[in-house]
Structure 1
Amino acid sequence: MKMNAPVPENLPAASDFIVNSKGVAMPVPKGSAPVPQPFVNRSGATTGSAFVDGVGPTAKPMNLRMMDPTPAKGRSPGYPNGYSTYSAPQTNGALQTVDPYTGKTISRDNPFAHISN
């Protein structure tokens, strides 16, 4: 590990991160509610919790969702400990999965789409 290396100016402060059960540090979108809120899907079921009403690196709205455990089904391998994902709310009420560092839309196959807990 290189000591005394310059720190990039655009990194959030340590208090802007959460760490999941696997030790993965994940940035919380700036300006999010200080406590995760229940996440309710379109069917009305609570499927996890989320830091909501934050903004991503492009100053567009972004949420960090922490989803409950899911069994394997269809293309999904299942997530016995749940997973986390970043999303941007759309005007039609849907959520678009995004890269937390660029704010750009990502595919389901991107490692940031489902971060195992």
Structure 2
Amino acid sequence: MSNSLELTPVQTVACCSPLTSEPLSIEQAERIAPLVKAIADPVRLRLLSIVASHEGGEACVCDLNDAFDLSQPTISHHLKVLHEVGLLDREKRGVWVYYRLNATALSDVGLLLGGVAR
């Protein structure tokens, strides 16, 4: 009498579809990494969401300063970081600066998060 156990072959089935059709290229990863790094800060992420939800898709720096319990120079620093990586565009009108989301940069982040094609 044999003590070996006979196993029935089982076919494996993936439980979920992949989120993207293919991995990022080196160039895409190098382009997107600074964007992700910039929005990894909660203040910057919130700044982006305030600008995005503002009427007309743009916000005056005066409106952004009032949304935080932070000094104006600190808010300006965060806005500068977001502008330098390309997530925000800015336009000076008189004494105020207005910020608007950069749709191209956001689509790059979307490429990473949801497989959005360009």
TM-score computed with the length of structure 1 as normaliser? 0.29
Greater fraction strand: 1
Greater fraction helix: 2
TM-score computed with the length of structure 2 as normaliser? 0.29
